[in-house]
Amino acid sequence: MKRILLTLIICSLIASCAPKDNNKCLAELAATEYLTPVHPGGENSPFWNGFAKKFLYAPSFEFKRVEGAKNYRYTATTEDGSTFSFTADSPQQSLSKIWNDIPQGVNVGLTVEGLDASGKVIGIAGERSFWRDYGFNPPYSDAVRSYRDAAILGMLYVHNMPQVQNFATSTEPDMSYKHFTYACKIIGAVVRVEVLLAKTLPQYYDNAIAIAKNAAQFLIDQSRKPDEPLAYFPPTYYKNLIASKRSSNRGKTMAMEAATAGQAFLDLYDITGDEIYLQHALGIADTYLRLQCEDGSWHIKYDFATAEPVNNSKAMLHPLLNYFLRLETDYGQTKYTNARIRGEQWMATHILDKFDMTGQFEDTAVEGIKPYENLTNCTAAPYASYLLSRGANKDEIATAYELVRFSEDQFVYWDCPVNEKGYKRDCTPCVFEQYKYTMPVDASTCNVSNAMLSLYEQTGDELMKAKAKALIDNITVVQCVNTGKIPTTWRIRHNKNITFWVNCTYSSVCTLLRMDELSKQESL
């Protein structure tokens, strides 16, 4: 309720600003919001930020009480020796009292000292260092071309890749594009891009649908047979390339990956009407029903032949819950509703309550990770979008806000300093992927901006819209003007190829088209 009231106040204040002062209003409102900690730890809430290295929102830390201490002195020291201090009655107080006094874009050392009744230091409650990040401070670069044009250029770049055109006449992937080794994710994304291109530009329909059908046929041919434990599941890994050559991945499959292929089959069914794609999508969903654990969860990884869980790690469920929701909403398949609701309940009690937004990627280790060691926007922001997509109540809207605030706090970089060579390392504003891959990625920008747009559409929060627009506009800025290529990673590198993943471009294209549609609606 407090969050909704604040949103109404924000919208009112922005509306009252003169056009030329709108950016100043937005920056001031953002600075005010940054004084509120993200999901602060305490008696009924865990401290999630033990591995965090940077903050936008005033943090609090899990420091222990000093025996005999009556108060605690907080001292934040910046690189140039400047200090900022306050006193509180708890060693777990947020830094909101001094947060906006600390310069942005600096390393900070924090010491919390226990004081006796006379003010004498009697012990250290805790010490911590972190990066005090740059806050949202518009204006940022507007889109350099229309959102629709940028989306079309991005689709055409994928469409014209020789390895993608290979699917026009073959059901076998051209493995010179090594990311095809992640079959569900990347080849499924090829299907989705080509279907979207066929819908957007009819002159490409025949070629695009031929590619989509052959790529889909490859996934079908590689899928487990209907009488096998993982019936209809395409493989997460194909051939021993990149990370799939790791022994821990051989013969294994990531549970949530089949849902991404299922979405591609549904896209192709929608445009062709061919029942084979719907039946394969439903077959995947039925297998998920059989795999669901009694507590409503699914394991993260299974043996591809036997369907035995590889370990006790459980999957983050937003890809599957979105898949079930689409089957219910678009195809009237209500048999998956109960499983989806049970999955939501598991997420609420095991993930949201603990606030452990751990990353689960097919090319990184998932077992043996400590709680909160590898947090990511790729869990938090998409789950916020999921909650909002199916109609969220007030509590769920508040949860969505907290997930988006966390994603911004830990992974959004609105600016970065100039390095010793005289340039900025990252193409800001941008969004980093995860703790263990500290790299700006276009799909992460899409995760966060889409969740922000969903909050704007549901609450009218203009600050969320402004932040989303700044991130989405930058997709057009980093896009290659000559080829339409949308680079996956947004870090300036010398003498190195720019990383490119088709599934990430698909996310960018969809996000650009969403922004295009929103802009058109609001211009009427």
For residue 453, the SS3 value is: helix
Taking the CA atoms of 353, 357, 358 and 359 in sequence, report the sign of the dihedral they define. positive
Burial classification of residue 424, based on how many CB atoms lie within 10 Å of its CB (0-12 exposed, 13-18 middle, 19 or more buried) = middle
Q: Among candidates 278, 260, 320, 274, which has minimal Cα distance to 296? A: 320
Between the alpha carbon of residue 453 and those of residues 95, 211, 307, 404, the distances in Å are: 29, 32, 38, 11
User: Could you tell me how many residues make up the chain?
Assistant: 524
Rounded distance between C-alpha atoms, residue 518 and residue 508, angstroms? 15
Q: What is the DSSP letter of 291?
A: H
Residue the block writes with tokens 């290529």: 485
pLDDT in tens, the chain (524 residues): 455 555 555 555 555 565 558 999 999 999 999 999 999 998 788 999 999 999 999 999 999 999 999 999 999 999 999 999 999 999 999 999 999 999 999 999 999 999 999 999 999 999 999 999 999 999 999 999 999 999 999 999 999 999 999 999 999 999 999 999 999 999 999 999 999 999 999 999 999 999 999 999 999 999 999 999 999 999 999 987 665 556 678 899 999 999 999 999 999 999 999 999 999 999 999 999 999 999 999 999 999 999 999 988 899 999 999 999 999 999 999 999 999 999 999 999 999 999 999 888 765 666 678 899 999 999 999 999 999 999 999 999 999 999 999 999 999 999 999 888 888 889 999 999 999 999 999 999 999 999 999 999 999 999 999 999 999 999 999 999 999 999 999 987 644 667 899 999 999 999 999 999 999 998 86
Taking the CA atoms of 287, 290, 293 and 295 in sequence, report the sign of the dihedral they define. positive
Are 215 and 267 in contact by the 8 Å Cβ rule? The answer is no
Which are the contacts of 521, defined by CB distance < 8 A and separation ≥ 6?
none
* Tally of CB atoms within 10 A around 217: 16
Burial classification of residue 169, based on how many CB atoms lie within 10 Å of its CB (0-12 exposed, 13-18 middle, 19 or more buried) = exposed
DSSP 300-364: SEEETTT--BSSS-B---HHHHHHHHHHHHHH--GGGHHHHHHHHHHHIIIIITTT--B---TTS
- Domain 2-132 is of which CATH architecture? Sandwich (2.60)
Rounded distance between C-alpha atoms, residue 422 and residue 45, angstroms? 43
Tokens, residue 494: 């010398």
The whole-number pLDDT of residue 497 equals 64
Are 296 and 343 in contact by the 8 Å Cβ rule? The answer is yes
Between the alpha carbon of residue 315 and those of residues 221, 255, 309, 349, 458, the distances in Å are: 26, 7, 11, 14, 28
pTM of structure: 0.94
Between the alpha carbon of residue 429 and those of residues 37, 425, 466, the distances in Å are: 22, 12, 12
The whole-number pLDDT of residue 495 equals 46
- Domain 155-315+317-356 is of which CATH architecture? Alpha/alpha barrel (1.50)
Q: Among candidates 363, 368, 387, which has minimal Cα distance to 454? A: 387
Rounded distance between C-alpha atoms, residue 217 and residue 272, angstroms? 14
For residue 170, the SS3 value is: coil
The continuous run of DSSP H or E covering 87 comes out as strand 83-88
Are 442 and 488 in contact by the 8 Å Cβ rule? The answer is yes
Q: Could you tell me the residue ranges of all domains in the chain?
A: 2-132, 155-315+317-356
First to last CA, the chain: 31
- The torsion region of residue 239 among left (phi > 0), alpha (psi -120 to 50) and beta comes to left
The whole-number pLDDT of residue 420 equals 83
Rounded distance between C-alpha atoms, residue 178 and residue 500, angstroms? 11
Q: Is-cis flag, bond preceding 417, omega within 30?
A: no
